[in-house]
Chain A
């Protein structure tokens, strides 16, 4: 049954499979910890072993969710396949990677994104190995089949666009843009080189250096609140020619400002902050598959709603500038867009909508989605070049609180 004769070998092979096939971040330290964890676990009890290894080897919710399936697949290889240690005979390779993750269930239902999705029930995670082999198998196979059907229906969908590092002109423009955005001052007083309030405490503390005589004065000020930017990029087919500048803006802003979160959507929305951050560091990379949605259709309303449900509560506040790059062409109902935009409008400092169609002579934002969003947009513009971005800073009107 097991690929190797000894426990450490099996564990090492299992860790390798997790790292290679499932993207777990496992290094020597994790393997070492796993062995220590097994020392305090009754290793005859499979469930106990799984419970002990899951917290050690998994480090995110997604990893914890796929762990049980990977465990069952490794230690109970199905369909008479050989040892799981060999790459050509791994049982999981039968199914596409995406089908093993919780993603396909969402992809099928187009439900809310990862963070907002109802969490796995504990019973589900703790389903014993037999249950995992029978019940899960059926479910995942059908999910995979539906996913494949969906993928073939979207043959027109292009590959995810590449993220390029921002050049100096974009970075400078982004820095100038971020600096021009004033979202007020923090409530708390902080030490400052100069300010409206005298800092008695620190002045006295400083006087210890001069034998208790006050020679230098210290001051307090309320520091500028740092703006937070949320960039939501439309990656649908109609935006294909324009997605380049929008992503460059996102990368440049990420390089120039501290709090930037980037999302991409077409039929579903997904947080791509970490990929954009790497690109901002000068490591060009492709964006992840958007559940076969790069270049797919748009469900603007659903995606904005998913954003509002899943992330807005924590990301969108008085200091947040929401930047949406979309042509506003939507296949859903305008009322959904209106509801989501109203929610954002209530909490954000400004909503900047970048619409590439504004460049088209004679264009008027009258399409359903755009018309629904219009009343809540603070600034409607388009950014193609760094110069446009500098100009945009002057045009953004912030809500006064």
Chain B
């Protein structure tokens, strides 16, 4: 798949990807290397993996990392209660010990956890290792081994090799520094906040029935907000929530009133409300922006606020 196809297919599934990201996803499939995605909260890191699975028409297998996650929880476990029941039943039938043993350590009694599940699929699935930075360093080392070899050894069963390598997406929120070894095994992509045009496209794709004016206003305000000195800058998830909230209130455009009513959708920290209050003019400019007598193409002098990098 070339980047253009990936973009088109992702768009069909309601996920807008830029050219660089599409290229990175193409390389995941072409080079069969894991992709490490970093970026601010709520830009769609996890969602991109879900969409990739949908686009490829395969299963998404998700491993949510957390502190204290250990290798066994990620790999496999034996179903002990079932094994015990089986032993009792087999004893009642008078089977020999050897026979029993060969039965109880078989696939039937194996509980597959995400990593083992991912390498025993008939079609190569998408393996999402979410928030890898929350797992311990020991787990990261273990993961490196699995990602390098694509095989798992279960003492009772032998070595299981992947028949089809999964497409692996790792996401990180940068809670801690990831090891160099892990970074070097992965492709890397920094997923930034979407641009104004992309955000409008995302709103249209994900919130059916949103009016062009409202979408544009929401995106405009979001651009301004992300340029402010907020503790928690709103991500794409927030703008989608917000657009839906406004629609359910039957608002077809944004004004100060509507903003005050729905502020809880976008600002999640009390201190940020104060910051917002001190930047009223910039916001009202953004809200008034795409009115009928002015064109949609300019950014109304907000460029300095919304795009500090330029």
A contacts, CB < 8 Å to B: 25, 27, 29-30, 33, 36-37, 39-41, 47-48, 51-52, 54-56, 58-61, 63-65, 105, 112, 115, 118-126, 135, 186, 188, 201, 204-205, 208, 211-212, 261, 273-274, 309, 314-315
| B169 within 8 Å of A (CB atoms) | no
How long is the Cα–Cα vector from A341 to B307 in the complex, in angstroms? Answer: 30
Measured between beta carbons, the chain B residues less than 8 angstroms from A126 are: 18-20
Say yes or no: A40 contacts B309, CB within 8 Å.
Answer: no
Give chain B residues whose Cβ lies under 8 Å from the Cβ of A65: 190
Q: Does B283 contact A (CB under 8 A)?
A: no
> Is B231 touching A59 in the complex (CB atoms < 8 A)?
no
For B193, the closest partner residue in chain A by CB is A119
- Return the chain A residue nearest B134 by Cβ: A314
A212 and B30 within 8 A (CB): no
CB distance from B102 to the nearest CB of A (A): 14
How distant is the Cα of A56 from the Cα of B27 in the complex, in angstroms? Answer: 9
Q: A51-B20, A55-B23 are in contact. Are A314 and B309 (CB under 8 A)?
A: no
Complex Cα spacing A61 to B36, Å: 11
Interface mask (B76-117 → A, CB under 8 Å = 1, otherwise 0) = 001011011001000000000100000000000000000000
A205 to B104, CA, bound (A): 12
Assembled-state Cα–Cα distance A315/B174 (Å): 10
- List residues of chain B with CB under 8 Å of any chain A CB: 2-3, 18-20, 23-24, 26-27, 30-31, 33, 35-36, 38-40, 68, 78, 80-81, 83-84, 87, 97, 173-177, 180, 183-184, 186-190, 192-195, 198, 226-227, 229, 231, 233, 307-310
Residue on A nearest B136 in the bound complex, by CB: A258
Instruction: Give the dominant DSSP class at A's interface.
Output: helix
CB contact under 8 A between A208 and B83, given known A64-B188, A119-B192:
yes
Please indicate which of the listed interface residues A30, A124, A211 has the most CB atoms of chain B within 10 Å of its own CB: A124
Per the bound structure, the CA–CA distance linking A56 and B40 in Å amounts to 21
Give the A-B pair count, Cβ closer than 8 A.
Answer: 122
Q: How far is the CA of A55 from the CA of B177 in the complex (A)?
A: 18
Q: Name the 5 nearest CB pairs between A and B, nearest first.
A: A51-B23, A59-B183, A55-B187, A119-B192, A314-B175
* A280 → B minimal CB distance (Å): 14
In the bound assembly, the distance between CA atoms of A204 and B187 in angstroms comes to: 44
The CA-CA distance from A30 to B83 in the complex, in Å, is 47
CB atoms of A122 and B192 under 8 A apart: yes
| Other-chain contact of A119, B35, B40, B68 (Cβ < 8 Å) | B40
Pair A274/B177 contact, Cβ less than 8 Å: yes
Docked Cα-Cα span, A125 to B18, in Å, equals 11
Whether the Cβ atoms of B20 and A54 lie closer than 8 Å is yes
Closest to A109 in B: B308
B173 touches A122 (CB 8 A): no
Q: How far is the CA of A115 from the CA of B177 in the complex (A)?
A: 11
Closest to B83 in A: A208
Q: Check if A52 sits within 8 Å of B27, measured CB to CB.
A: yes
Q: Which residues of the other chain, A, contact B186 by a CB distance below 8 angstroms? A: 59
Contact in complex: B23, A64 (CB < 8 Å): no
A119:B39 contact, CB within 8 angstroms = yes
Residue of A29, A59, A126 with most chain B CB atoms under a 10 A cut-off: A59
Beyond A48-B23, A54-B189, A59-B36: 12 further Cβ-contacts under 8 Å? A40-B30, A52-B26, A54-B24, A55-B27, A59-B184, A60-B183, A64-B188, A64-B189, A105-B309, A115-B174, A118-B226, A126-B19
| Contact A125 B192, beta carbon cutoff 8 Å | yes
Residues of chain A lying within 8 A (CB to CB) of residue B309:
105, 118, 120-121, 124
Q: Taking A55-B189, A56-B187 as contacts, is the C-beta distance between A122 and B20 under 8 angstroms?
A: yes
Chain A residues lying within 8 Å of B308, measured Cβ to Cβ, are: 118
Q: Which residues of the other chain, B, contact A55 by a CB distance below 8 angstroms?
A: 23-24, 27, 35, 187-189
The answer to whether B307 and A121 have CB atoms under 8 Å apart is yes
Contact residues in A for B24 (Cβ distance below 8 Å): 51, 54-55
**A39 surroundings in chain B (CB, below 8 A):** 30
In chain A, what residue has the closest Cβ to B188? Answer: A59
Establish whether residues A30 and B188, one from each chain, have CB atoms under 8 Å apart when the complex forms. Answer: no
Q: Would you call A48 and B184 a contact (CB within 8 A)? A: no
Bound Cα distance A40, B25 (Å): 12
* CB atoms of A25 and B27 under 8 A apart: no
Chain B residues contacting A118 (CB-CB under 8 Å) are 193, 226-227, 233, 308-309
- Chain A residues whose C-beta falls within 8 Å of the C-beta of B39 in the assembled complex: 119
B3 contacts across to A, CB distance below 8 A: 48, 51
Cα distance A123–B226 in the bound complex, in angstroms? 15
B195 proximity list for chain A (CB < 8 A): 121-123
Question: CA A119 – CA B80 in complex, angstroms?
Answer: 49
> Can you list 24 A-B contacts with CB-CB less than 8 angstroms, sorted by A residue number?
A25-B183, A27-B184, A29-B184, A30-B184, A52-B23, A55-B35, A55-B187, A56-B187, A59-B184, A64-B188, A118-B233, A120-B192, A121-B192, A121-B195, A121-B307, A122-B18, A122-B20, A125-B20, A126-B20, A188-B68, A201-B80, A205-B78, A208-B83, A212-B87
